[in-house]
Homo-oligomer: A and B are copies of this chain.
Amino acid sequence: MADPRFFQVAGPFTLGQLAEICGAELSAGADAGKVISDVAALEGASTDQISFLDNRKYVSAFAATAAGAVIVHPDLAERGPAGTALLLSKDPYRAYAMVAQTFYPSPAPVAWISPSAHVDGSARIGADCWIDHGVIIGAGAEIGDRCRIGSHAVIGAGVVIGADGAIGANATIQCALIGAKVNIYPGARIGQDGFGFAMGVQGHLKVPQLGRVVIGNNVEIGANTTIDRGAGPDTVIGDGCWIDNLVQIGHNVQLGRGCVVVAQVGISGSTQFGDFVAAGGQSGFAGHLKIGSGAKIAAQAGVIGDVPAGQTYGGYPAVPRLEWLRQSVILGKMARTKR
């Protein structure tokens, strides 16, 4: 299914192996020994491929699929074609992720340092790292085991990167301490000066930015995203955060664990997110705010005040979601009726 110029499929695996890998239950009558050779979408899957149903919108595709097996929630099990082998899971998308990772694992890097890389003599490079062409690693930097540093990435002096990290091509990192299993995409900019200056008609005056960027474990940071270092305190990204492309994170911002920050979000200086906050695409946050754990912010919302834990906000300026929806409804009604 996946283009072999770009992806290498592992396997094949038996249905029984896949069920075990993803913690799913085989449907009654399914053959645990059946051989599955790849993943595929419901439409277009063939009888030796496994697919999944997560979004109810695609139930009709499920009903018509020729897939050899489908990962599905037990509640929807009977909606598939008679006789199709099912892997029953309460979280079919997660189960699919595990299966797809099985067919398309990330191979461990081969130990190699390109002769065109510039690695400072005082830098420490862990075991089995792949340091690609033109990579720059500054004095005293520490790169953990099994890291993969992409071409022309620039890692500044003193930067620490934990084990199993991946730094994308042309990315730039300075003044940063980064945990294990962190994946930084091409062109991301980590640790440059925050936007700090004293304004004045005689000229704005730079305030030295003396903090760092501290990133936890299992974090993803998207392409061309920018994360400024702290002004004095650190900028902190908690464990398990997923940050999309073209996001701006200002100095001193703190994100808790597991936050999801969609593309083009902007978070102004010193704002703090709790754990598992979700910020929709292009939403913006003023500075010095507290966004409680589990809060959800709609795409394009303009957040200018604190948001309590667990709340969903939207609008510009952002208000609780129901209020925002009502505003839209009322305004729409007036626009259609008033003169």
Contacts and interface: CB of A to CB of B under 8 A. Distances in A.
Contact of A93 (B158, B195, B198): B198
A304 B282 CA distance: 13
A69 interface: no
A228 B262 CA distance: 13
Contacts of A175: 3, 6
Given A140-B5, A195-B263, A323-B335, A187 B205 contact: no
A206 interface: yes
Interface string A194-238: 010111110111111011100000101011101010001100000
A276 B195 contact: no
A244 B323 contact: no
Copies held by the complex: 3
Contacts of A224: 187, 189, 224, 226, 246
B195 A222 contact: yes
A47 interface: no
A14 interface: no
Given A94-B198, A175-B6, A232 B152 contact: no
Given A195-B244, A210-B100, A332-B323, A204 B258 contact: yes
A2 interface: yes
A327 B319 contact: no
Nearest to A93: B198
Contact of A262 (B104, B187, B195, B226): B195
A20 to B, nearest CB: 17
Interface stretch (A24-32, A79-87, A166-174, A305-313): A166-174
Do most interface residues of chain A lie in helix, strand or loop, or is the interface mixed?
Answer: loop
Given A169-B172, A185-B192, A335-B323, A282 B266 contact: yes
A136 B152 CA distance: 9
Nearest to A158: B5
Contact of A266 (B5, B263, B326): B263
A250 B281 CA distance: 11
A282 B264 CA distance: 9
Interface residues of A, number: 111
Interface string A152-172: 101011100000000011111
10 contacts: A6-B156, A39-B210, A96-B198, A116-B118, A169-B172, A172-B223, A189-B223, A250-B263, A264-B264, A317-B328
The 5 closest A-B pairs by CB, nearest first: A5-B158, A94-B198, A189-B223, A326-B335, A2-B210
Interface of A: 1-3, 5-7, 39-41, 57, 91, 93-94, 96-98, 100-101, 103-104, 114, 116, 118, 132-134, 136, 140, 150-152, 154, 156-158, 168-172, 174-175, 185-187, 189, 192-193, 195, 197-201, 203-208, 210-212, 218, 220, 222-224, 226, 228, 232-233, 240, 242, 244-246, 248, 250, 258, 260, 262-264, 266, 268, 276, 281-282, 284, 286, 288, 299-300, 302, 304, 316-317, 319, 323-324, 326-328, 330-332, 334-336, 338
